[in-house]
Structure 1
């Protein structure tokens, strides 16, 4: 299901971002950096409108969490609408 794929991409993006932020791996790791950039380019059109709506919270970005919650609500609404 496409909603599950988007949620998994958000989770992978978050984990790789944490790896970079806590210096577990550096951004000079070409493979991880390319995966991170690719996922960012896929998710940016979806996350950008959410980031504009949410108030600025400093270093913490809540837009992926809002996206996951919104997708889960949409998935349940579509599921119960069909059945």
Structure 2
């Protein structure tokens, strides 16, 4: 059971890092730090978008419009850590 819990925690941590990378890349593209026409940047951005957008899109529809600020990744990260702690408490008992 500890191996499954380790795998679950690792997948949650990996997805949180993917969310952070997606947010940082979007900022770099918006502020013209990286060229979005570069094939490597485009393929990395496409991968990050395909992995994060199916989870973030429904969350964005639920959240109020805050202008140009997108807080959905932060809300998702908090939710993922909450679920991770809930599962850890349930299986480990602390």
Q: For the superposition of Structure 1 and Structure 2, which TM-score range results when normalised by the shorter chain? A: over 0.9
Unaligned runs of 5+ in 2: 1-9
TM-score normalised by structure 2 residue count = 0.83
After TM superposition, the score normalised by the length of structure 1 is 0.93
Partner of 1:35: 44
- Superposed CA deviations along residues 6-34 of structure 1, whole A, max 9, x for unmatched, are 10110110111111111111211210121
User: 2:26 maps to which residue?
Assistant: 17
Give the distance between the partners of 2:70 and 2:27, measured in 1 at CA.
Answer: 12
Flag as ranges the 4+ runs of structure 1 deviating above 3 A.
Answer: none
1:1-83 to structure 2, matched below 5 A, reads: 1-83=10-92
Larger radius of gyration: 2
TM-aligned CA deviation for residue 45 of structure 1 = 1.1
User: Which segments of 5 or more consecutive residues in structure 1 lack a partner in the other structure?
Assistant: none
